[in-house]
Structures are given as structure tokens and as C-alpha cells.
Structure 1
């Protein structure tokens, strides 16, 4: 071989512009982000992988103990003006933190590849110690295989652009005291992991002195390279084949006559275990000039031809994968940018932090006010029911009003007539015991109540435990109000002629409203939970990440709880005013109701003595006028027949009923307007106003840093992402030109 041919061979793998670009990508550490074109040497144990790797990289791998076949070895060649070698260990992804820390401490840099080759065996022994691999296979200490990766980077002015991976050889049967079934699966998984990528050229190493049908590596390669576009069969140890029939079978493989591969087979003669380190491939491969090897194409035999062939394959795969490589780089950049967006802007100064947090507060306030005013068209998030704040509150308030009207009184009132209260059929006293209002609104709101109550479980809000309460349900009003009033009167009366003491009405009203507190607490508790749930979800919507949400939420939570307490206290204050003060009202509705009740009672007493009025019509005939007539004597008799106790009992009942209606309406309106509308929704101290721009303005520098400042973990994450984006962007530029 001429000097010119030798120089051509030495530079074959870096002659392609595409491979030069791939090497530049490796310089930018792009290989740790996306797979790059590379060679992986795979085969059975003792198939000659290490010798082949030595032929390709010129690294003298020891073969007596197979030190380099217990873990994957990644060898990268890179063109540099100065010669040096860098060696490190890449820990397995699932390694423990302690093991990762240990192996990452192993780093070596040697000046000159000659020094490296002489020190390589000693370096491998040190690597085994770091990886905790047995140097003595008969020992029980350490493991036989490791998922860590030894990375060797060869740099120099004559190095080729090449990356080669050597993985442990696969085997089928465990060796007693050395390897196990788990080791078999571990090695198989390692091999699969390396050959599955479409940018990897698979060098399936097959010893010539064994039956190729017994070599499982070809089947594994086909599983991941169905069309055989990136699998090259490399036949080693042809010097050990002595029988002519076996040599002829090998020639048939290389010529594609038997078990063909798309990329075919290549025959090489490597340094054997008995050859010394000065083994020369030139004289060693002269055997290919003899029969029957001389009949094979020259580009299918020898290490130099293999190197040329690998250069062609790498170039072809690189050219084919370039579009996908660009696509992968863009996808990775987009993913990094999304992660950076989730981290939010870098906030280094107080001004940046305050401006950032103020923007978050502004968006929160805009969203909260839209929810409070039911402007649901302003944001698509309102399609989720939890964000429809005002709707939930109105539904709960309507239901509270209806339930309060039907069930808030302890005992059912009795009505003497059917034509009171604007034409309604009496009130609750006219209906059977335990009856409720049968209206469409009642049915609709009851269904809405069940739906809302299911989602408002106090156990979901443990921070509200000291504020809210949930009742077990409100009982229907009892029957028998008249006997109860009579007993109350008889136990409390004094020297009252035809009337009763004012304390009787106060006592009756207080007992009749005894359920108000439970129902009021439950109503306000439900509203508080609706508001609290909204604040949780709304804050999560506007915050850039979970960490910011947690910091803001913990900062405003105590203030929120105090505002909830104010709302509950206001409701209980209104309750105390209604129940613990003398019954009184300036509302004419009270006297109207009382007069209607009294008139209806008299009408009922006289109804039995009434007769139809007869008048002459225009024709002179007698006919009914539609009116009823009662004799004056019957009126006197009805009044005379009523005893004093019965009269007072009815008076207490009618006054209590008339005042109760006024008080109930006044109380329900007051609780909504003051405790709910003002304290929880629209007031200046509403919980919706807790996280605002004013709140941000009043934060100290230390408080701002605690809330908006980045944690060390976030800073490190941001720096890593920005570096990755920079590397990937530079990679795109390399591929562009």
C-alpha cells in the first residue's frame, strides 16, 4: 500500500462534510440531548468484539480478563490541534445518588495518545473499582456487570471523526458463582438499548470458527433494524478456520449467497490473544491473498476496507437522518422553552420581582371580578363550573331562602283562612306535617343543592376547620303550636286583663327561631367554601408554576381566614340582633299581616252562620247577589263564646306569625347583603381583594424575595435549560450551513 493510500485511509471517516458537522455537534455536547450517528459493536461473548474495536480505534483493549466487556464503553474520536485523551464515567440513570456522586468523581486527562495506550490497562482496573465491578471473577465482592458507561474521548490532529460503542457480549447460560440469569437479562437490555436508535450503525460481530446460526445477535439486530439498512455483519477470526468447507461457507456469506444481509458481511483478521501488542494488520491480513479468500471482493475483506465501508455507512445514515435530526433539535428547543415559560421570567432584582408579582395580581383581580360579576365570556376558563363563582353563590342563596321559609320555624303556624299572603294557600301550617313547597324552583334548586354539597366537603378544606360547619340536615317544623303557646302563656302570665306580657312574645319568638343559627352557619359556611375553592383554583390559573402558587397562597392564607371569620361573625351578629332583642319593626307589612290574620279568624268563626244574600234583579225576580250575610246577633254570640285564654292564645299566635314573617325576610336579606355580598364578595375587605396590586406594593424586599425570588433549585434548572437551548440552537446553525 502506498503512502498516499495510507493517508487516504486514515482520513476516510472525516472526509464527509456531514460527519464533520456531526463532530461539531459533539463538541457542543448535543449528543447528550439527541442521538447522533454512531457505531455500536455487538456480539456474543468471545466473538472478537474487543479486537475489532482495537482495530478501529487503535486502543489496545486487554482480552485476558475481558475488562472492557463488563460495561459499555463509548469511544469518541475528535480532530484537535493538540493530542490529549479525556476519560470519565457516565453513571447509569437509575443509579443511587451515592453511586452517581462516586463515579462522577472519576476524571482523567492525559496528554498524548501514546501515554494513554500504555496506561490504559491500569486505568481500566481503576474504573472497575469506581464502578464496584469484580476484577477477580471468582470473588463474591462487587458486581459482574454495570450499567455505567466508560467514556473515552481521543483528540488529536490525526484522529478520525468517529464514535464507537462497545457493549458487553450477550450470553445464554449463567456461570456458577460468577454470572446469574439477572446478568443475562441485564446485558441483553443494554444491547437492545444501544441498537434500537435509527442513527446507530450495528456492527454484528460473528466469529468465523462457530456456526453463525448459533449467534443470537443477528436476530436481535433484525428486531430493531427490520430492513437491515444499518446492520453490517463482521466476521472475525478467519485464521482459526481450517476446513475448506467452512472457508467456502464463509465466502458464501460474504458474497451474499447465504443468510444475506442488506449491508452484507465483512471479513477481518484482528490481533488474537496470542498476538503481541505490535501486531501489524498488513502482514496479518496477507492471508486474504490466498485461496479461497482471494476470490472475495477487496472491499469486503480487511480492516482498512472495513473502515472505508463504515465511513460510507455513517455518511449515508447521517445524510438520511439529517432532516429528522433537525426536527428533533427543534422539538427539544420547544420543550426547553416550555419549561422556561413554566419557570417564569428570571427575577433577580426587587423591581423585577415586584413588577412580576404585580402582573400576577392584576390578572388575578381581573379574573376574580369577572367571576364575581358573572362576566363569563371574558375567559375560556369559565367553562369550568368551579370558576363560576357568582352562579354558585346565587344558587346557594336562593336555596337558603326557600329552605329557610319552609323549615326555619320550630313549629308550624296555623292559619284560619285560605286567602292570606297574596293568594297563597295559607302557609306551612295549612299543609300536612313535614310538607315542603312543591314548586319548580324548589325541585331545581334542591337538585343544584345536592350537586353543590357533594363538591363542598369540609374535609377538603382543613384550614377552614375552625370557621365553617356542616349541619346534618334541617328537621321539618313540628305540629302543635297552639298547645305550646297556651302552655307558655299559662306558665308566664301575670295580672294582665285581656292581654299578655311582652316577655311572652320575646320568649316565643326566640324558641320559634332556635334553628336559625344552625341554618345560618351552614349557609355562610357553604358560601365561604365556594369562595375559598374559587380562590384556590383562580390563583393556580394565574401563577406560572406550583412553587409560586404555594408561596403566594401561604402568604395570603391567614388574611383570608380572618376575612372569612369577619363574614361569619357578621352573620351571627345579625342573628343575635334578631333573636336576642325585643321584637320590633317599623315595617307596615307586620300590621298588614296581623290585620289580615285577625279578619280571617273572625270570618272563619262566622262562616257557619252566613247565608247567601238575595236581591231582585232587573226583571223583578229574586236571585243570589254573590254576597254572604251574617246576623248581628251571630257576631255578638261568636265574640261571647271565646274565653280569655283562647283569645290571648290566638293573639300571641297571630302577632308571632306576623312578626316572624317580617323578621325572617329582614334577616335573610341582611345575611346575604352584609355577610355574603359585602364581607365575601364586593366589600373592600372581601377575600377576593386579598391578593391585589396594593398588597404587592406593600410587601417588603425580604417578603418579595421569599415569594417571587427563585430557589437555588429553580436557578440551577433555569441555567441548565438556558445552556441546553444555547447548545441546541448552535447545533441548528451547524446543520444549516
Structure 2
């Protein structure tokens, strides 16, 4: 049975991811015709350029096309075929962004310590110039999980075969990777639908100098055996780590499962569960009000210590009222602190920030508010200095409970100057004293 699906990239958008997951196909057999049909459909779903050569479509994608072949005689492994790394762009096909995308994609799979790296390089090119070989050496310095695969041995120039023979035989110094050589069907073989391995067997048996190589280093069958050996070795090496990771995930899953409580498949059980939640909540609330913070670990979060927070805010409110709750100021005192200059910008706002001592109390207020407006990028433009009554940000869920933010005028000029003005504005014909009606007017103010 062959299942075909698309796995979206982890950073894909929600709509795109749902579209990719929604496409699936089932095949009974996999041949050239069925595979070509599937690929054409996949290109449309993934919106990739293909035979249509649409310029507005991309050439590469981070989404993964997955073919799952299951059966009693199938090997238990996953083969990830990634694009080849390239450095030059092709007009209308690839871009510079594609270069980085492909390299990051290949590097992402190679750096997985549980993966086996198959570095596939043509035999008719210089291995030293292949970036994929250098990447494998950086990620796997000892070559424990890297297998080198040389292809196209029939295209090697005459006289250059010995270099390839030395690489496969392990005679090249500094080469810790074990190399094999295979000969895939050529273009004519594909046209003739001759995809068997008999031509490969005949090539390594009859063609010199390839017939001098060890049999466990040539051909697909030998490569399959070596791949199984490497996978077995990596599995034994990584199994303790995988086991520990699975155990950790299992423990977390069990904790989540236990937190769900008992089964609630009846109305009575559902009611009992809700009642238990209410009781637990009420118990925590009573602990918070009584400041019994050692009774539950939830109070490790300072913001949940309600009694302490209420007491703190009461102190702040008292200080605010004492300093800014009156309309007229008495004579300036040296220990008067500045008004708050930070409000909703931080979870625990700075309530009072000292300022340099001004020449007068009015200057003191104006300096503080002017500095506050500068910090906010605002200009009072000659308006009266104000103070905001709230020092915490609005909460959406508490809009109906909290009072809205308001800006109030700061206390006015010194009271003696104001009393003098009120006295002069209320004088009558009395001598040596003031009118008794002045007191009600002042107290009303």
C-alpha cells in the first residue's frame, strides 16, 4: 500500500497548512505513469512551477511530499530526498533566495544526530569542490553517520579512474567517510524502461578497473547492506537518548492526563467535578485573603498574592491622596516627592521619581510634568500640568469594574497667595479684620 500526503512546514500559515494536510492520495502500485500523475497533481496543490513554467510560481518549497510505502517485506526507515545545493541561478527558474532556502533545508536535515547522511557525488567531478561533502564533514567529523555514494562511474575520463578507486578503497588520507559506487540506469535505459540492476552488475563485473574493487563497495545491493549496518549502529547509539526523551514526554503526558481528573461521562459526575473546581477556587481565594501563601504553590507568583497587593495599593493610594489629593498647596517642603512619571508602561510602575529641588512649588510641578511629556513625546503647549489617576494598564476583562483613566490638574498655587487674593476680592467696610462671610467662601473652595 502506498500513501501520498504533504506535510506542511512548521512555520506555514494556518490556511496553507490546512490545505496541504487536506490533500491525500492512495496508490496500489508505483510506476512511472502513476508517479508522473501524482507529481503533476502535487505541483498544482503546492503551487510549484513545473511543466507549465509559470513565472509567478516558486521552484522550491519547505513543505514535504511524503510517500509512505507499507508492507510486510518493506524496510523500516525513512529516506529524505533533498534538492542538490547550487550556487548559480537560472533565469525564470531559480533565484538567490532559492540558494539559501535549499542550503538551509539540507543543513536542517543533516544536523539531526539521528539521521544518516548520504552524500551523493558524481564520479566525474572533483569531490574536493563539492560543498555537500564539506557540510557533512563539519556536522559529522568522525564520519560515524555519513556514507559517501559515487555515481556515473562510466563517465569518468580515461586515466582518472585510479583517483576514484583510491577514494573508494579508503587510500586517500584524511578521508574518514566510507565510499561506495553505483551505476544508475542511463537516459537510454529509462527510455527503454530498462530500470533493472542487471546492467549495473555487468558493468562492475566486466569493466576495468571497476571490477578490481571489493564487492561490498560496488552496486546498489552492497550499498543497501552497508546502509543497514550504519542504521543499526546509529540506532544502538541513539536509543538511550530516544528512550529518555520518550520517557520525559510520557511523564508530561501523564501529568496532563491526571490533571483532567476522573471520567465525567454522566451529569452527576460533571456536577461533582464543577463543584470540586469551585471548592478548590474558593480555598485558594481564602488563602489569598488570609495571606496564607505557604498553603499552595500557586502563590509562588507574586501577582496572585492578593492581600499583599491590596495592602500595597492602599499605601500607594494613601501617599497619592496625601501628596496630590488637595486643590491648594501649602508652603513647599523639601521632602515633597515628584508625581508619577510612568503609568501603564510597566507591570510594576515607578510611583515616585525624585527631581532636583526647584525654586517654587509651581515650578516643581511644571518641571515634573514637562519632563513626563517629553518622555512620552507629548507637548503640553502651555496647558495646565496634570496627573493621571491610574498607574496600571487597562484590562479588557475588567472594563466594567475599573474606573476609566482620567487626567486631573495638579494642586494649584501656594495657599497663602490664594488666600490673599480671596481676601482682597471679598473686602468690605470692616476695619482691622475680615468679614465672617469670607470663611464659608474659602471652605467651599
Return the TM-score normalized by structure 2.
0.72
Alpha carbons 1:399, 1:446 under 8 Å: kept: no
The answer on 1:277 being equivalent to 2:207 is no
- Within a 5 Å distance, the mapping from 1:202-601 to structure 2 comes to 202-243=117-158, 245-258=159-172, 260-275=174-189, 276-290=192-206, 291-333=208-250, 349-370=270-291, 379-381=299-301, 387-394=308-315, 396-397=317-318, 400=321, 434-436=331-333, 443=335, 446=337, 452=351, 458=390, 460=392, 463=399, 464-465=402-403, 470-473=408-411, 475-478=413-416, 490=428, 507-514=437-444
Q: Distance in 2 between matches of 1:100 and 1:385?
A: 42
Q: Residue deviations 1:674-696, cap 9 Å, x none?
A: xxxxxxxxxxxxxxxxxxxxxxx
TM-aligned CA deviation for residue 176 of structure 1? 2.4
Contact 2:6 2:65 in 1 (8 A): yes
1:157 to 1:483, Cα distance in 2 relative to 1, 3 A: closer
Which secondary structure does the structure 2 equivalent of 1:156 belong to?
A: coil
Change (3 A) 1:145 1:345: farther
Q: What's the offset of the Cα at 1:153?
A: 1.0
Equivalent residue for 1:91?
A: 8
Given candidates 38, 60, 83, the residue that maps to 1:168 is 83
* CA gap 1:258/1:397 in 2 versus in 1, 3 angstroms: same
SS of the counterpart of 1:119?
Answer: helix
With structure 1 as the length reference, what TM-score do the two structures score?
0.45
Note the 1:138-149 alignment, pairs <5 A: 138-140=53-55, 142-149=57-64
Whole-angstrom CA distance in 2 between matches of 1:376 and 1:129: 60
Distance (Å, rounded) in 1 between the aligned partners of 2:133 and 2:175: 10
Alpha-carbon distance in structure 2 between the residues aligned to 1:281 and 1:482: 112
Distance in 2 (CA, whole Å) between partners of 1:139 and 1:180 is 14
Asked if structure 2 preserves the Cα contact closer than 8 Å seen for 1:396 and 1:449, the reply is no
Q: Judge conservation of contact 1:376–1:388 (CA < 8 Å) in 2.
A: no
Deviation at 1:271, TM superposition (A): 1.6
Partner SS state of residue 198, structure 1: coil
The range that moved more, 197-206 or 298-307, is 298-307
Q: Who wins on radius of gyration, i.e. which is larger? A: 1
Once residues 248 and 139 of structure 1 are traced to their aligned partners in structure 2, the CA distance between those partners, rounded to angstroms, is 45
CA RMSD of aligned residues (A): 4.2
Contact in 1 for aligned 2:328/2:413 (Cα 8 Å): no
Tell me the residue number matched to 2:368.
none
Corresponding residue of 2:105: 190
Equivalent pair of 1:174/1:180 in contact (CA under 8 Å): yes
Counterparts in 2 of 1:447 and 1:140: CA distance versus 1, 3 Å:
closer
Unaligned segments of structure 1, at least 5 residues = 1-83, 411-432, 494-499, 516-737
Q: 1:376 to 1:492 in 2, by over 3 A?
A: farther
Classify 1:513/1:209 alpha carbon distance in 2 versus 1 (closer, same or farther; 3 Å): same
Higher relative contact order (CA 8 A, sep 6+): 1
The unaligned stretches of length 5 or more in structure 2 are 342-349, 354-386
How many residues align? The count is 386
C-alpha distance in 1, partners of 2:76/2:409?
77
8 Å Cα contact 2:328-2:411 kept in structure 1? no
Partners of 1:236 and 1:321 lie apart in 2 by 30
CA gap of 1:448–1:186, structure 2 versus 1, over 3 A, is closer
Task: Please tell me whether the aligned partners of residues 269 and 284 of structure 1 are also in contact (alpha carbons under 8 angstroms).
Answer: yes
Matched, 1:177 2:115: no
Contact 1:399/1:449 (8 A) holds in 2: no
More helix by share: 1
Q: Deviations over 1:190-246 (max 9, x none)?
A: 211211101111110111122223322101222322332211110111122351x21
Distance 2:186 2:293 in 1: 79
SS at match of 2:83: coil
What is the CA–CA distance in structure 2 between the aligned matches of 1:447 and 1:377, rounded to whole Å?
37
Over 3 Å counting, the alpha-carbon distance change for 1:467 and 1:211 in structure 2 is: closer
CA distance in 1 between partners of 2:421 and 2:410 (Å)? 28
Query: Does the residue aligned with 2:195 lie in a helix, a strand or coil?
Result: coil
**Which range moves more in the overlay, 335-344 or 267-276?**
335-344
The alpha-carbon deviation at position 303 of structure 1 amounts to 1.3
Q: CA deviation at 1:288?
A: 2.3
**1:124, CA displacement in angstroms?**
1.7
* Residues 471, 222 of structure 1: alpha-carbon distance in 2 compared, 3 angstrom cutoff: same
Following superposition, the deviation at residue 88 of structure 1 comes to: 0.9
Aligned CA distance change for structure 1 residues 341 and 408 (closer, same or farther; 3 Å):
farther
> 1:157 & 1:403 partners in 2: Cα distance?
83
Do the aligned residues in 2 keep the contact of 1:85 with 1:110 (CA within 8 Å)? Answer: yes
- Change in 2 beyond 3 A, CA 1:449/1:323: same
Cα offset, 1:97, TM superposition:
3.9
Distance 1:160 1:367, change over 3 A: same
Asked if the contact 1:86–1:108 (Cα under 8 Å) also holds between the matched residues in 2, the reply is yes
C-alpha distance in structure 2 between counterparts of 1:203 and 1:345, whole Å: 50
Segment drifting more, 382-391 vs 273-282: 382-391
